Structure 1
Amino acid sequence: MQDTNEIPRILIVEDDADINRLLCRILKKSGYCPEQAFSGTEARLLLGTGSYDLIILDLMLPGMTGEELLDNIRKEQNLSMPVLILSAKGSLEDRVGLLLEGADDYLTKPFEPEEVAARVCALLRRCGRTRQDGAAGKETQAYTVRNLTVYPEARQVMVKGREIPLTGHEFDILLLLIRNPDKVYSRENLYEQVWKGGYYGEDNTVNVHVSNIRKKLAKADPDEEYIQTVWGIGFKLKHSRPQTCLLHKEAM
């Protein structure tokens, strides 16, 4: 049985009970040890009595706001663990301000459970804390084409060394394409494999998601095109050289 001391401890600071419970389920499913706080004041007390590897922090909290708690964490308690802001406030000013004040990442509500898990995984990896599997290390497969690398297990996408946030369905589409770079996927194929349901030919869902992936990749790498439209059929990965399949050793 795994020692719980080896499992990253994550403090969820969220006053909405339903969202707090959902985050707790997401983290437990991902192999982490979550603890719950429902106010900024409660979170401050917990931080004073225990250690955590990461904090998921809402902003609009009773007792002490998320902004005040972040300031307390960084300046008064001098704690350095990653802080992921999870808030309905989504303006550029809010995001930039919190990142400058000491937050490590910012995700707006509503959120995709898969993206929360991926962001947490990425933040823990950066600070050297990952889930322990009872071995010195493990092999993690990564698919690389030009400046794009996709990590299936971590559900992480990197372009030129920069992490690109994708929703769960966007990630699944890109993973299908990069795993089979010479295969053309029809919209029906993609819908059935990603959404696990029947495709009736009139839904524009696949087109919208592919368009969103293209925009996010183009923003990070404007000189490259990674998804090719095959007119009358669907989509495929656009690659000028054979796909590279790498194995990375991750220290645990």
Structure 2
Amino acid sequence: MEIYHILVVEDDPDINKLLCRVLSGAGYDCRPAYSGSEAALWAGQYDYDLVLLDLMLPGLTGEEFITQLRQRKTMPIIVLSAKAGLEDRVNVLKLGADDFIPKPFDNAEVLARVEAQLRRYRQFSGASGGSVLTHGDLVLDKDSVTVTAAGKPVAVTAREFHILTLLMEHPKKVFTREQLYQQVWNGAYMGDDNTVNVHISNLRSKLAKASPTEYIKTVWGIGFKMCD
């Protein structure tokens, strides 16, 4: 049985201990960190399969930690915070988080969200025959979970990688927001276009920083596809 390694970043010792106990009880290996600076240190020295992250931290804030980590790594980040307003949630998704759980949280929900993120990440980072997808000068390597545009590396989140994989595997297909949500989030679509739009916008911005080429086209009134 594969053991997954999770970095738990929470400055409240009691909450950190609770999360580690719950996750360890489910078979995960946990490393506690009590500040953003400590978390950055551990993330730089070791590879983790997932990060569970509070936002209001001493040292680096959660937002600063996400920004730094996304320059180097693509593992899922689940934010768990009392800063649960719409603006806060949208902001961390734009920065590169994959999911958001508001405090106070339910232990069962945390475990379910962790399991879902790891399952989705492993699905797209596991062995796939070294399959490489290309679209012009955009290259996606399923095996190494890397993306390059015009030869420059693009740091994407697990969900952004999943979205881009779907689009590049079917470059002629127009995906509706509902189809993307159902396949990437593995859940029933509740008409929340904003969730999909934020991830598409974030992905476009990252690609644009590497290359002036437009890769993802909006088909107005329908959804998204790769540009011809």
Q: Please report the TM-score for the alignment, with normalisation by the length of structure 1.
A: 0.50
What are the equivalent positions in structure 2 for 1:65-80 lying under 5 Å apart?
65-75=61-71, 78-80=72-74
* AA in 2 matched with 1:12: V
Query: C-alpha displacement at 1:68, in angstroms?
Result: 0.6
What are the equivalent positions in structure 2 for 1:127-142 lying under 5 Å apart?
127-128=121-122
1:121 corresponds to which of 112, 115, 129: 115
**1:39 touches 1:64 (CA, 8 Å); kept in 2?**
yes
What CA distance in whole angstroms lies between the structure 2 residues aligned with 1:67 and 1:26?
25
Counterpart of 2:56? Answer: 60
Counterpart of 1:219? Answer: 190
Query: C-alpha displacement at 1:48, in angstroms?
Result: 1.3
Q: Work out whether 1:84 is the aligned partner of 2:73.
A: no
Matched residues, number: 134
What CA distance in whole angstroms lies between the structure 2 residues aligned with 1:61 and 1:36?
13
Query: C-alpha displacement at 1:29, in angstroms?
Result: 1.5
Q: Work out whether 1:110 is the aligned partner of 2:81.
A: no
* AA in 2 matched with 1:85: V
Q: Deviations over 1:112-150 (max 9, x none)?
A: 000000000000001117xxxxxxxxxxxxxxxxxxxxx
Q: Work out whether 1:49 is the aligned partner of 2:45.
A: yes
User: Matched residues, percent identical?
Assistant: 51
What CA distance in whole angstroms lies between the structure 2 residues aligned with 1:60 and 1:46?
18
Indicate how the Cα distance of structure 1 residues 125 and 62 shifts in structure 2: closer, same or farther if over 3 A, else same. Answer: same
**1:160 touches 1:220 (CA, 8 Å); kept in 2?**
no
Flag the structure with larger Rg: 1
> Which secondary structure state, in structure 1, belongs to the residue aligned with residue 20 of structure 2?
helix
Which structure carries more relative contact order (alpha carbon 8 Å, separation 6+)? 1
Q: Deviations over 1:34-72 (max 9, x none)?
A: 110000011111111111000001000001100011111
What CA distance in whole angstroms lies between the structure 2 residues aligned with 1:127 and 1:219?
23
* AA in 1 matched with 2:113: R
Q: Please report the TM-score for the alignment, with normalisation by the length of structure 2.
A: 0.55
Unaligned runs of 5+ residues in structure 1 are 130-158, 165-216, 222-252
Indicate how the Cα distance of structure 1 residues 219 and 64 shifts in structure 2: closer, same or farther if over 3 A, else same. Answer: same
2:26 corresponds to which of 2, 25, 30: 30
What CA distance in whole angstroms lies between the structure 2 residues aligned with 1:63 and 1:101?
18
After TM superposition, the runs of 4+ consecutive aligned structure 1 residues lying more than 2 A away are 159-164, 217-221
What are the equivalent positions in structure 2 for 1:194-233 lying under 5 Å apart?
219=190
**2:182 touches 2:189 (CA, 8 Å); kept in 1?**
no
> Which secondary structure state, in structure 2, belongs to the residue aligned with residue 79 of structure 1?
coil
> Which secondary structure state, in structure 2, belongs to the residue aligned with residue 11 of structure 1?
strand
Q: Deviations over 1:206-240 (max 9, x none)?
A: xxxxxxxxxxx68359xxxxxxxxxxxxxxxxxxx
Structure having the higher helix fraction is 2
> Which secondary structure state, in structure 2, belongs to the residue aligned with residue 219 of structure 1?
coil
Q: Deviations over 1:151-206 (max 9, x none)?
A: xxxxxxxx954445xxxxxxxxxxxxxxxxxxxxxxxxxxxxxxxxxxxxxxxxxx
RMSD: 2.0
What CA distance in whole angstroms lies between the structure 1 residues aligned with 2:86 and 2:57?
21
Counterpart of 1:15? Answer: 11
